[in-house]
Amino acid sequence: MMDNIAYFLDMMAAEKGSSTNTIAAYGRDLEQFLVFVGKKDCEVDNGDIEKFVQHLGAALFSPKTIARKLSAIREFYKFLYMEKLVKDNPALDILSPKQEKPLPKFLTENEISSLITTAKNDLSFSGRRLSAMLKLMYACGLRVSELVGLPDGCINFKENQIMIFGKGSKERIVPVARGAIEEIEEYKEFRDKHLNGQKSPWLFPSLHAKSGHITRDAFFKNIKNLAIKAGISPQKISPHVLRHSFATHLLDHKVDLRSVQKMLGHEDISTTEIYTHVVSQKLRDEVEKNHPLAKRACKM
């Protein structure tokens, strides 16, 4: 039995190039399974696997861990079946437990404010451009691909609106907060001086990128460095986190879900509904922290 595991793990290393950590984890998972079923050979049926899954669930293993162990069992029996070491593959119809989607990460309003303030302190062209991009992204919930490729004439300054070309070349018009509009107006004056008579079709041009505008990677690195300067862990921030923060903060301030859906450019409102779970969790945390009945020491 253990010889078959060693044979399988050798194949994983030689033919699939699996990492040392993956091979070690698969080895432990398979040994745990075969010890559980208590059979001298590897001939098991799908009932044995289902009982193992139930055992893991009762032992409070997470769905993610159970799914990983099942992956090891599937790969193992697929290998044994192809090598004709077992008559049937008992793992074919075994389903993994449903895993909950992780809630989107977001920054607090104070953290966003700190980032914007820190960016404003850099008076170089790169600093002014980053400040404008950060404020516009947070004001409108843009995807990073939408942000970096904004054309110069995308903003209607009279109506405080921006035209965005989203996924599938679909257009959407999003209102822009006045504070972000003013930031862009100041930035454009600074940008024109920086270009020194050169013309650019892009709102956020770059003299170094082949595309002519700042790249996604450059923006990603810039906001990571900005987070460090602002005293925020760089691991907490990414362009997507800024988009999540936009949606979460709007719902915090009672903006209706349909409006947030339109501004984010989601086709299906179920995609937007994930943010309501973030707000609900925040409300639960507040109740646990502040409600009199949540305080054990409180005498009613």
167 annotated active-site: yes
Question: For residue 77, which of 28, 33, 14 has the smallest C-alpha distance?
Answer: 33
Residue 244 designated active-site: no
- Based on its alpha-carbon atoms, the radius of gyration of the chain, rounded to whole angstroms, reads 27
Amino acid in position 290: N
Residue pointed to by tokens 């179920």? 270
Inter-residue contact 250 to 260 (CB < 8 Å): yes
**Residues 245 and 107 sit within 8 Å (Cβ to Cβ):** yes
**239-252 and 257-264 are packed helices; what angle lies between their axes, rounded to 10 degrees?**
160
Of 143, 213, 244, 249, which is the active-site residue? 143
CA atoms of 186 and 276, how far apart (whole Å): 35
Catalytic (active site) residue 240: yes
Phi, psi angle pair for 44, to nearest 5°: -125, 170
| Catalytic residue flag (residue 26) | no
Does 243 participate in catalysis according to the annotation? yes
Q: Of 226, 208, 213, nearest to 111 (Cα)? A: 226
275 is catalytic: yes
Query: Alpha-carbon distance 17 to 144, whole Å?
Result: 34
User: Which candidate in 69, 129, 213, 243 is catalytic?
Assistant: 243
d(CA 102, CA 63): 12
Q: From 153, 107, 157, 158, select the one nearest 134 (Cα to Cα).
A: 107
Q: Which of 68, 194, 229, 240 is catalytic?
A: 240
Catalytic residue among 167, 170, 193, 236: 167
Give Cα 269 distance to the centre of its chain. Answer: 18
- Residues identified as active-site: 143, 167, 240, 243, 266, 275
